[in-house]
Structure 1
Amino acid sequence: MKQKIKITLAAIFLIGGLSVSAQEKKFFFGAKAGFVFSDLSEYSYKTRMKHSFTGGLTFDYFLNRDLYISSAIEFANKGAKFDLLNKNEEEGTSLDIKNSTIAAFYIQVPVHLGYKFDLSEKTRLMVQAGPYIAYGVGGPTELGDEVILKTPGETITMNLNEYMRHLPYYNLINDWRRDKETFSDTHFREFDWGIGIGMGVEYEHVNISFRYDFGLYNISQEAGKVKNRNASVTLGYKF
């Protein structure tokens, strides 16, 4: 009889200990992947949104049941689409190279403070905000294939390879070539930082999230100020 009581008490303490451990779990590790929609503010040429991919490892530390600190190590392909337009007002000529692309590959670390609201027994709404830092690790800035050359008498449309063979390519578009490095002494700085805000929905271990990052640092090596503007949609899993 005493032996049964000892076994029962031991089982109760074991179950209680496991329950407390489960309740006190504060650190969660995960992974995510999705799409990034990026643009640049105040670039030398008119830009428009470029879409690409993002992904990384996530880390959440809970201060209590609802309040948490969220961080990650992310890879993101940022940048923008643009048309390279050069005009010679005196001669009345212009060169427009359509659908050029800036690809800027970043390793990024956000640190956000977040809060979760219960929507149902297994579903929670997440909101979070905080700073990020990022470092550019590569990427090309490439000219598009469609070239439109306007003169006082005519407008000529051709592809870039044809233009490079037959017209004074280097004189009209200065130091540009078919492509060049995005991060260099004459284009963009590698370092970036800013503020991000986000929200999402979590169902058990799976979540879908939206985030918008406002770059606050001037990444341009040239005159003027250029800053990153990026939105992302990701699907994640917490282990």
Structure 2
Amino acid sequence: MKKVILSLVTLLAATTLATAQMRPAIKVEAGANFANQTTKIDDNSTDGKMMVGYRVGVGAEFGFADGFYVNPGLYFLSRGQKLADKEYSLPIVGSAKVDVTRWLHNVEIPVHVGYRAAFAPDMSVSIQAGPWFSYGFLGKDVYKATGEGIAGDTAKKAADELNKGDNNPYKDGTVVKQSLKPFDLGVGMQAAFEYRQFGVNLGFEYGLLNTSNIDNVKVNNMNFYVGLGYRF
């Protein structure tokens, strides 16, 4: 994996040097991010449910051949997942099942190579793909009570108690010690329909690294996104 990271960094450096004298087009994007995590505990998969978050950022587009371009960028986005009926045992409150929404706020640097083709006056389509690097700078697990009656009351007390803590999975928290590593890298692709400077984007990203900080657990990030873009 170190060789992969070194190769990607070398590619990024070479691309930056090769395009340094080109005048780039600047584009901004904003939209919704639909995130989830694939989770495996020992040999058992316990994937969560998709959650809706945000994705905003800016990129620079360097053309190097007819229709082809390199597109590095800087983005802020949310990742994470929703988990149902997670059981916790707490002093005084006792054992209870609660729903958990894991919010992870990441900064990401994608480096894509793309191609744009016009098919009508002022209209074009583009597709791009490449690696991305990200770092989680903030996270929080939010707990919500489930059930009714005595079980629901116990769950509410447990959720209230759990929500009092920092609950950042990137560092030691109320429930468990640091459960996630902040650094990740992966591959992504994006397709867009463009009218003049405006674009509608649809993309997919998958994390190649195991971001779990727990020995018998493997966690990979994945997300779809849709958004609007504008090129200057």
TM superposition score normalised by structure 2: 0.76
Do the aligned residues in 2 keep the contact of 1:147 with 1:163 (CA within 8 Å)? no
Aligned to 1:126: 126
Do the aligned residues in 2 keep the contact of 1:97 with 1:148 (CA within 8 Å)? no
- Is 1:64 the equivalent of 2:65? yes
Superposed displacement of residue 27, structure 1: 1.2
Calculate percent identity across the aligned residue pairs: 22
CA gap of 1:59–1:203, structure 2 versus 1, over 3 A, is same
Report matched runs for 1:6-155 at 5 Å.
Answer: 26-42=23-39, 46-86=47-87, 95-98=96-99, 100-146=100-146
Indicate the structure (1 or 2) with the bigger Cα radius of gyration. 1
CA gap of 1:86–1:201, structure 2 versus 1, over 3 A, is same
CA distance in 2, matches of 1:162, 1:87: 11
**2:84 maps to amino acid:** D
Out of 166, 169, 172, which is 1:182 matched to?
169
CA distance in 2, matches of 1:87, 1:109: 36
**1:156 maps to amino acid:** A
Deviations 1:49-85 (A, max 9, x none): 0001110111111112300111210000111111243
- Is 1:214 the equivalent of 2:201? no
What's the RMSD between the two structures over aligned residues?
A: 2.6
CA distance in 2, matches of 1:74, 1:104: 14
CA gap of 1:221–1:187, structure 2 versus 1, over 3 A, is same
Superposed displacement of residue 86, structure 1: 3.2
Deviations 1:108-132 (A, max 9, x none): 0100110112221211111111000
Aligned to 1:7: none
CA distance in 2, matches of 1:236, 1:159: 47
5+ unaligned residues in a row in structure 2: which ranges?
Answer: 1-21, 173-177
TM superposition score normalised by structure 1: 0.74
Deviations 1:18-37 (A, max 9, x none): xxxxxxx8510121110000
Give the stretch that moved more between structures: 44-53 or 123-132: 44-53
**2:54 maps to amino acid:** F
CA gap of 1:163–1:217, structure 2 versus 1, over 3 A, is closer
**2:135 maps to amino acid:** Y
Question: Aligned with 2:152: secondary structure?
Answer: strand
CA gap of 1:26–1:184, structure 2 versus 1, over 3 A, is same
Do the aligned residues in 2 keep the contact of 1:46 with 1:83 (CA within 8 Å)? no
CA gap of 1:191–1:206, structure 2 versus 1, over 3 A, is same
Aligned to 1:15: none
**2:168 maps to amino acid:** E
Aligned to 1:3: none
CA distance in 2, matches of 1:135, 1:162: 33
CA distance in 2, matches of 1:209, 1:219: 27
5+ unaligned residues in a row in structure 1: which ranges?
Answer: 1-24, 150-154, 170-175
Superposed displacement of residue 224, structure 1: 1.6
